Amino acid sequence: MNLCIYATTDVAEEGAITFEVLPGEAPGTITVIAPDADERAVTILDGSGRQVAVDVIHDQRSTMDLGHLNAGAYVARLQARGASPHALRFFLLDR
């Protein structure tokens, strides 16, 4: 399956670190860009709120493999030390 991001919706809280979720260079991956934090945990939740992927990223730009996920709606939640959580809703489509 080749997945792509269709759209994102920002659901940030006040004081949250901003980030972006973009289609990755390889099929089934996403690129997470979070320039304002040192170490961040990125959690991917499915439509029912179940955690389906998690990664701790240390760079401003990191790749996550989501090739195991089905097409559908997901939430990427970023949590950085000392900051409020920030989440983006996005859709993975089967191309």
Residues near 80 by beta carbon (within 8 Å), at least 6 away in sequence: 17, 34, 36, 37, 38, 39, 40, 41
pLDDT in tens, 47-93: 999 999 999 988 888 899 998 999 888 999 988 877 778 888 888 87
Give the angle 61-15-7 at the CA atoms, nearest 5°.
Answer: 50
Paired tokens of 40: 């961040």
Paired tokens of 33: 């860009």
pLDDT in tens, 1-49: 444 454 455 555 565 567 778 788 888 888 888 877 677 899 999 999 9
